[in-house]
């Protein structure tokens, strides 16, 4: 009986270990190509232009403005107007397309909240630069403004710098100089080692070099805009003693404030018990196990738990978060706001992860600019 019990415990432990290993591998996986999982069903024409017909899904019926990225290249921006085309389909009006794109039935596309593909499509006058980092040259866009006040825009895990252009519009409206940055092991940044993400731990060093770039060019105060994991990076950088007095504020959209809770939430979204997320923690935080999954070393997850570290926050912080976020739960942002109400302001949207701007771009823009004018520019 004892032998059987021991064997059963061993099997259970091995299974649990395997689940933790799998979750960690998927979480930190090298960047993968975009999935083109939508089929264009039809293109309609009327006096006001063209409409695109798609299968009815939670994405294609979502409130707000979005972008379709096409497998053969190019993109089409879609309006917030959703029109029924029977029980299984909807139509949305095309408000803009990449030069030369002519969508047609049968094309494959990918739904995205990344509304602008490049700065000029957002009406921004940018130039291409590179930031020298410990891992090599990281491409960035620079949009010039006030040389003393800079905004640095940090994208999230699996995304690209184009996604942050939504926030650059607010910084440009205020006259700031903006840097839209990349970092290691992303689609545009240099590949290091196995190409796996360290969830903002080592990536922060690359973004830190962007701060140095700004300071050497006259920045006296910097606002960090962080999206999802980019917010986790921003919080790490603002916590560094050498940046005290320089980081004037944080604007965080759908922030990752506690990786353990975020992993649990994503397990639930994937159909696993939330508790399965705990099985990944040793593979991230224990050095030999972290190396076995292909990471360069352990990740200090506790340092990323800002609900526990709320007292350490020193920079004024604006959080924009969707109430339907099933990736980075809004309750963490609410907890941070409740712990530091004198420093943290939370604006909620009826939106999914990193889609608050898409749901209501005018309110997002107005919220950010008015908060920065009052807390930073005032």
| SS3 (DSSP) at 345 | strand
Distance in angstroms (rounded) separating the CA atoms of residues 296 and 196: 9
pLDDT 10s per residue in the chain (378 long)? Answer: 344 333 333 333 444 568 999 999 999 999 999 999 999 999 999 999 999 999 999 999 999 999 999 999 999 999 999 999 999 999 999 999 999 999 999 999 999 999 999 999 999 999 999 999 999 999 999 999 999 999 999 999 999 999 999 999 999 999 999 999 999 999 999 999 999 999 999 999 999 999 999 999 999 999 999 999 999 999 999 999 999 999 999 999 999 999 999 999 999 999 999 999 999 999 999 999 999 999 999 999 999 999 999 999 999 999 999 999 999 999 999 999 999 999 999 999 999 999 999 999 999 999 999 999 999 864
What per-residue confidence (pLDDT) applies to 377?
60
Task: Write phi, then psi, for 345 (nearest 5 degrees).
Answer: -115, 135
pTM for the complete prediction? 0.94
Q: For the chain, give the number of residues.
A: 378
Distance in angstroms (rounded) separating the CA atoms of residues 211 and 205: 10
Residue with tokens 């939430």: 265
What per-residue confidence (pLDDT) applies to 376?
81
Q: Is-contact 189 138, C-beta < 8 A? A: yes
63, exposed or middle or buried, with CB in 10 Å at 0-12, 13-18, 19+?
Answer: middle
DSSP β-bridge partners for residue 138: 131
Q: DSSP letter at 353?
A: T
What per-residue confidence (pLDDT) applies to 262?
97
Task: Write phi, then psi, for 214 (nearest 5 degrees).
Answer: -65, -40
Distant-in-sequence, close-in-space partners of 11: CB < 8 Å, separation ≥ 6: none
What per-residue confidence (pLDDT) applies to 133?
97
């Amino acid at each position: 009986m004892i032998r059987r019990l021991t064997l059963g415990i061993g099997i259970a432990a091995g299974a649990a270990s395997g689940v933790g290993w799998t979750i960690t591998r998927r979480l930190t996986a090298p960047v993968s190509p975009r999935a083109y999982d939508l089929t264009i069903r039809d293109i309609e024409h009327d006096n006001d232009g063209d409409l695109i017909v798609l299968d009815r899904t939670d994405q294609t019926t979502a409130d707000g403005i979005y972008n379709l990225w096409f497998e053969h290249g190019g993109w089409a921006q879609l309006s917030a107007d959703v029109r029924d085309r029977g029980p299984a389909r909807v139509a949305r009006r095309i408000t803009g397309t990449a030069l030369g794109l002519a969508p047609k039935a049968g094309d494959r596309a990918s739904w995205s909240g990344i509304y602008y593909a490049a700065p000029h499509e957002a009406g921004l006058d940018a130039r291409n630069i590179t930031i020298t980092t410990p891992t090599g040259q990281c491409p960035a866009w620079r949009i010039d403004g006030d040389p003393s006040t800079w905004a640095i825009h940090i994208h999230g895990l699996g995304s690209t710098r184009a996604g942050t252009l939504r926030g650059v519009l607010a910084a440009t409206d205020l006259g700031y100089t903006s840097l839209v940055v990349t970092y290691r092991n992303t689609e545009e940044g240099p590949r290091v080692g196995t190409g796996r993400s360290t969830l903002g731990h080592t990536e922060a060093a690359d973004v830190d070099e962007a701060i140095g770039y700004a300071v050497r060019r006259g920045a006296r105060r910097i606002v960090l805009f962080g999206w999802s994991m980019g917010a986790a990076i921003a919080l790490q950088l603002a916590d560094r003693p050498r940046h005290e007095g320089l980081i004037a504020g944080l604007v965080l959209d759908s922030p990752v404030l506690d990786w353990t809770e975020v992993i649990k939430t994503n397990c639930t979204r994937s159909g696993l018990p939330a508790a399965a997320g705990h099985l990944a923690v040793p593979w991230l935080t224990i050095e030999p196990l972290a190396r076995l999954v292909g990471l360069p070393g352990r990740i200090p997850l506790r340092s990323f738990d800002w609900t526990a570290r709320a007292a350490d926050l020193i920079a004024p912080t604006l959080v924009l978060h969707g109430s339907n976020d099933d990736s980075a739960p809004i309750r963490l942002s609410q907890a941070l706001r409740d712990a530091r109400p004198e420093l943290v302001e939370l604006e909620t949207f009826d939106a999914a992860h990193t889609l608050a701007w898409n749901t209501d771009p005018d309110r997002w823009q107005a919220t950010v600019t008015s908060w920065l004018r009052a807390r930073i520019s005032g």
